């Protein structure tokens, strides 16, 4: 598979080129810097979702392994 990198100054012309390339049947995929930026932001958001941000979610709840098993498999532990 061959790869070509093209830098375009005008955003509107880049959109036209993108549409043209996606319409061609022999082009496997087309990526733009905008789509790469969006993908990068998604990973940053995932990293920002901190485990400790959910602290207090189970506060004042008595949860044991046995109670979870009883709710998950009520027929086996009834």
pLDDT band at 1 (very low <50, low <70, confident <90, very high): confident
Give the integer Cα–Cα distance in Å for 29 and 2.
11
pLDDT (tens digit, 9 = 90+) per residue, 22-71?
Answer: 888 888 888 887 755 555 555 656 666 666 777 777 788 888 888 888 88
Give the integer Cα–Cα distance in Å for 58 and 68.
13
Give the integer Cα–Cα distance in Å for 36 and 18.
14
- Tell me what pLDDT residue 47 has: 61
What does the buried/exposed string (b/e) look like for 7-21 if buried means 16 or more CB atoms within 10 Å of the residue's CB?
A: eeeeeeebeeebeee
- Tell me what pLDDT residue 25 has: 87
pTM of the model: 0.41
- Tell me what pLDDT residue 36 has: 53
In the chain, what are the domain boundaries? 1-52
């Amino acid at each position: 598979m061959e790869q070509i990198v093209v830098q375009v100054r005008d955003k509107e012309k880049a959109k036209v080129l993108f549409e043209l390339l996606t319409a061609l049947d022999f082009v496997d995929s087309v990526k733009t810097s905008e789509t790469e930026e969006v993908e990068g932001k998604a990973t940053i958001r995932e990293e920002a979702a901190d485990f400790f941000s959910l602290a207090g979610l189970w506060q004042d709840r008595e949860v044991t392994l046995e109670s979870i098993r009883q709710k998950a498999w009520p027929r086996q532990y009834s």
